[in-house]
């Protein structure tokens, strides 16, 4: 039985943080180590440029940071194909063909895009590349004939749009493309709140713990975290719901019995926030220590990382080129195929 193909990736707009780790990175490593899938993990620099076109240095500078984070958490370039989106020109051509299969009104209705346009404050000045990036995602997914696409729950509309375009293409031109399924995280793993407890952890909101943060920085951030505002004195009963510290403990604490006892103690009073935060800090440091150690080693050899990305991009391009050839053939635009002049 042939392996199924997985495609996933990240925009290189900054170093990766605990939200990425719980939401996708840990799962990618687990899927990789099952040895049941062909894994493609893409650094989506072209997509990042859709809203950073006038600041390309931000993308260039962070590309290596994201690659180091990938390898530090356990993505193995001998098992997972790591590559750079912009090094696969076939993706742009596929995007052009797919744009003819979707309407402007349909792109307008995509709730993820609408939300991001509002968040970024584009107003009426939406970059065209950003507006159509869901179609470029279809190119990314279909170029590698991905069966499965691990994404956050907020990306479900993107997967549905991909499936629509795939069905449209296959109905029009013949069965060439694979219709993918989304793989979605469950529970808190899918949406780790920021340190302020008010929104998801985000680079842009400045409320993140990064995988590359040193031990002292992590400790400072944990001690500054949002808790129950009504838990003023140690003896006061506290609320664990919507309490960011306990949300993080739910995500990272492996001793669930001890955690339930701590929650009960906090609810009835007599347990201070500082003690809970120290407990969380110890757990996070244990989780991050090996990641930081591997990352420090990788930082010493950037040429090695670039070589991995170069080789991975070459392999990825060969796969995308084959898909593009099949697409062009199905559309009847391989005009000179088989000609010997």
Q: Per-residue confidence at 337, pLDDT binned at 50, 70, 90?
A: confident
So where are the chain's domains? 4-191+302-331, 215-297
| Per-residue DSSP letter, 248 | H
Contact 316, 81 (CB under 8 A): yes
Task: Report the share of the chain in percent with pLDDT over 70.
Answer: 99
Q: Per-residue confidence at 184, pLDDT binned at 50, 70, 90?
A: confident
Q: Per-residue confidence at 311, pLDDT binned at 50, 70, 90?
A: very high
Q: What is the mean pLDDT of residues 66-84?
A: 98
Residue 189 has pLDDT above 60, yes or no: no
pLDDT digits over 198-218, tens only? 777 887 778 999 999 999 999
> Three-state DSSP class for 332?
coil
What own/partner pairs with CB < 8 Å and gap ≥ 24 does 122-126 have? Answer: none
- Specify the higher pLDDT residue, 152 or 90: 90
| Top CATH class, 4-191+302-331 | alpha beta
Mean pLDDT of the chain: 93
Name residue, tokens 């347990």.
Answer: 271
Residue 159 has pLDDT above 80, yes or no: yes
Dihedral angle over CA of 208, 72, 215, 266, nearest 10: 60
Contact 239, 231 (CB under 8 A): yes
pLDDT digits over 170-180, tens only? 999 999 999 99
H-run or E-run covering 84: strand 80-84
Given this model, what pLDDT does residue 199 score? 73
Q: What is the mean pLDDT of residues 183-196?
A: 77
Residue 188 has pLDDT above 70, yes or no: no
Q: Per-residue confidence at 165, pLDDT binned at 50, 70, 90?
A: very high
Residue 187 has pLDDT above 70, yes or no: no
pLDDT digits over 38-71, tens only? 999 999 999 999 999 999 999 999 999 999 999 9
Sheet hosting strand 4-10, strand order edge to edge:
80-84, 37-43, 4-10, 148-150, 181-183
> Three-state DSSP class for 315?
helix
β 37-43/4-10 pair status: parallel
Residue 221 has pLDDT above 90, yes or no: yes
Look up the CATH number of domain 215-297. 1.10.240.10
Name residue, tokens 């609320």.
Answer: 239
Written as six digits, the tokens of 264 are 């009960």
* Range with lowest mean pLDDT among 39-48, 150-159, 160-169: 150-159
Q: Per-residue confidence at 338, pLDDT binned at 50, 70, 90?
A: confident
Which residues are registered as beta bridge partners of 175?
none
Q: What is the mean pLDDT of residues 18-39?
A: 93
């Amino acid at each position: 039985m042939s392996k199924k193909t997985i495609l996933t990736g990240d925009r290189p707009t900054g170093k990766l943080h605990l939200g990425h780790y719980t939401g996708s990175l840990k799962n990618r490593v687990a899927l990789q180590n099952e040895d049941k899938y062909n894994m493609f993990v893409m650094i989506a620099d072209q997509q990042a440029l859709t809203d950073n076109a006038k600041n390309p240095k931000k993308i260039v500078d962070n590309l290596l940071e994201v690659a180091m984070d990938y390898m530090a958490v356990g993505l193995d370039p001998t098992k997972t194909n790591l590559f750079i989106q912009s090094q696969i020109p076939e993706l742009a051509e596929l995007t052009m063909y797919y744009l003819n299969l979707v309407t402007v009104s349909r792109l307008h209705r995509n709730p993820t895009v609408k939300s991001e346009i509002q968040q970024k404050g584009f107003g009426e000045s939406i970059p065209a590349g950003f507006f159509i990036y869901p179609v470029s995602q279809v190119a990314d997914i279909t170029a590698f004939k991905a069966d499965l696409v691990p994404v956050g729950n907020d990306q479900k509309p993107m997967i549905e749009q991909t499936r629509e375009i795939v069905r449209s293409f296959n109905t029009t031109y013949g069965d060439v493309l694979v219709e993918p399924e989304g793989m979605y995280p469950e529970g808190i793993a899918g949406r780790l709140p920021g340190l302020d407890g008010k929104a998801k952890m985000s680079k842009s909101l400045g409320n993140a713990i990064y995988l590359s943060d040193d031990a002292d920085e992590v400790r400072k951030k944990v001690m500054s975290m949002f808790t129950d505002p009504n838990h003023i004195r140690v003896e006061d009963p506290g609320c664990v719901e919507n309490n960011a510290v306990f949300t993080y403990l739910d995500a990272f604490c492996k001793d669930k019995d001890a955690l339930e006892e701590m929650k009960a103690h906090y609810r009835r009073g007599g347990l201070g926030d500082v003690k809970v935060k120290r407990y969380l800090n110890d757990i996070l440091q244990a989780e991050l220590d090996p990641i930081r150690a591997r990352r420090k080693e990788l930082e010493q050899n950037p040429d090695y990382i670039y070589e991995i990305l170069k080789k991975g991009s070459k392999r990825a391009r060969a796969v995308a080129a084959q898909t593009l050839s099949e697409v062009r053939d199905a559309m009847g635009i391989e005009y000179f195929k088989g000609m010997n002049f």
